[in-house]
Chain A
Amino acid sequence: MEILLGEPFHLPRVGDDVFRKLMRDVRLEYDKQKRVFRTTPQTDLYQLATLLSETLKEPVTYAVKCFLCGSNAGCSTCEHSSVCDRLIVSQNCICESCLNKEDAYALYCMRAAEVSL
């Protein structure tokens, strides 16, 4: 299972005890109406991976999204993947195509200003 950090995702029923642990210890966010989970900067990604892989019996991996276009930032092809630990870096990055734009940094700043308005 791949979780896109900061983006909503569904889980099958995990049982009350695991759900409580996800909320209380792992600090995952849950939207009751849409019934979706979401990681936040406070989410303990180590514990989340351990708990979900034990509960769902499948490995859990993380991906980060591009702050500019919202797509998957493409960690598997990233030139920095050997030194980037997705468990300890913040939830957004920049994809290769956005990075290669002439004014990538200016676009990034504009996007940050837009969303904080």
Chain B
Amino acid sequence: MYAERFRPKNPSMMVGNEESRIGFLNWLKNWRKGSKPALLVGPPGTGKTTLVYAAAESLGYVVLEFNASDTRTKERLSSALLPSTHSLSVLGERLLVFLDEVDGLYARQDYGGLEFIQGFIEKSNLPVVLAANVEEDERIRKLLPKCEVFAFKRVPPRLMYLYLQNLVKKEELKVSTETLRKVVEKAAGDMRAALNSLQAVLASPSSEVIEATRNKMVSLRDALNTLFNSTDRDEAKRALDACDTDISDKIRAIFSSLVNSRLDSSNLIMALEALSAADELAARIKRTQEWRQLRYFNSMLAYSIFDSIPRGSVRFSQDMYPWSVQLRIWNDSRVLRSIGRKLGGMLHTSSKEALLIHLPYLARVLNLLGKDEAQRILKGFTYDESELRVLNKEILRFSK
């Protein structure tokens, strides 16, 4: 395979992601016992695995790799990795532990694997490198604070062209400039796909340049941005298919993106109704364990959302609430807690219950009584100025 045969042997021979490559090399050069492990995050074919091997080679490390094709249960990992935590080298060679595709750890097949890795990276005597395709994955989010993160992005087409052009020249391959351009365009920033595609074209020159010959996995962000912006329904569905994120996370992220957008109310209602139908299907699949129905889930979600929003009107967002609401929660939460405590004391309930159940009624009643009467009653409470300001805002919400 060209992707293996022409894999760069030195980090400086790679193209794209220069800042992350340099950052990772410096991390490995300066690694000391107690340093944080490195986490390389980025789409497939951007050079994460290649960089680990090339950097290890140039700095004199031997790589001990565990990838998605290995079973990575707690028992398996601990029997392979724990001895290495006590020995810093094998036959004088320094070791580097590389756990590739950590976002591909499965709850059932790799039982306890993630928990083991979380513990292992804290006490390892060796440099540990983790690699993942998507940052949004819940499993990766847990690892982020404990790691030095190096983000990888897709390789710009011109740099990819530069690499392939050099390869064609060096190996004296017979490929036209036009074909090389097509290979670059179809690869969409995935260097492995470009090399595989180039090999396929050389093997059968009459064939069309095919799209990435390896199944591409896209992040939740890229999938949803394609869903919201693509002008082709099937492309929108393919993007959702290529995203390996849990169905609940997909629904949550679409919901968050919709409510943070500036859609007009009729489109927003349509989109939320479509989303709630998909949510019902997801719940039914989980409840009945009929995972076969999953194949309908992406189609239903993609087509219904596609049809209900104008193209380009929504962008991916993971904030659950719009920024204006977040600000309000942020600014008023301290004061609301204090109102809850006082109100709860008066009503002999917890402050949480006072805020959730009694405060809305109180605000509603005060709103119905009118401004002057409400102010007169509020004076009877022991609220300070900031609490009165927030209470007045709550009362005003009922007049809108």
Contact = CB atoms under 8 A, between A and B. Distances in A.
- Answer whether A and B are interacting partners: yes
Interface of A: 6, 17, 21, 25, 40-42, 46-47, 50, 64, 67, 73, 78-80, 83-85, 88-94, 99, 104-105, 108-110, 112-113, 115-116
B189 A88 contact: yes
A114 to B, nearest CB: 9
Contacts of A67: 18, 159
Interface residues of B, number: 45
Contacts of B317: 47
Nearest to B219: A88
Contacts of A41: 17, 19-20, 150-153
Nearest to B318: A25
Interface stretch (B8-16, B68-76, B202-210): B8-16
Given A104-B162, A112-B12, A42 B156 contact: no
A99 B177 CA distance: 14
A112 B51 CA distance: 13
B12 A113 contact: yes
A41 to B, nearest CB: 4
B221 A83 contact: no
B238 to A, nearest CB: 16
A73 B12 contact: no
A80 B157 contact: yes
B358 interface: no
A88 B157 contact: no
Contact of B158 (A25, A80, A112, A115): A80
B188 to A, nearest CB: 7
B153 A89 contact: yes
B156 A112 contact: no
A88 B159 contact: no
A90 B185 contact: no
B19 A88 contact: no
A93 to B, nearest CB: 4
Interface string B1-36: 000000000011111111111100110000000000
B163 interface: yes
Interface majority SS (helix, strand, loop, mixed), chain B = helix
Given A41-B19, A80-B157, A112-B12, A90 B152 contact: yes
Contacts of A115: 18, 22
A46 B158 contact: no
Contacts of A47: 317
A116 B21 contact: yes
Contacts of A25: 319
Interface in B132-175: 149-159, 161-163, 165-166
B184 interface: yes
B155 A89 contact: yes
B222 interface: yes
B323 interface: yes
A113 B161 CA distance: 20
Contacts of A108: 15, 159, 162
Nearest to B327: A17
Contacts of B184: 80, 83
Nearest to A79: B181
B316 interface: yes
Nearest to A110: B12
B153 A88 contact: yes
B19 A83 contact: no
11 contacts: A67-B18, A88-B222, A89-B157, A90-B17, A92-B159, A105-B162, A110-B12, A112-B21, A112-B22, A116-B22, A116-B25
A104 B163 CA distance: 10
A40 B153 CA distance: 11
Contacts of B156: 64, 80, 84, 89-90, 92-93
A112 B153 contact: no
B165 A90 contact: no
B157 to A, nearest CB: 4
B237 interface: no
9 nearest interchain CB pairs?
A: A80-B157, A105-B166, A113-B12, A112-B12, A41-B151, A90-B153, A89-B156, A93-B156, A90-B17
Contacts of A50: 315
A28 B162 CA distance: 30
Contacts of B149: 42
A108 B18 CA distance: 11
Contacts of A91: 18-19, 153
B225 interface: yes
A113 B18 CA distance: 10
Given A88-B153, A94-B159, 14 more contacts: A41-B151, A73-B158, A78-B158, A80-B157, A80-B185, A88-B189, A88-B222, A89-B16, A89-B154, A90-B16, A90-B154, A99-B162, A112-B13, A112-B14
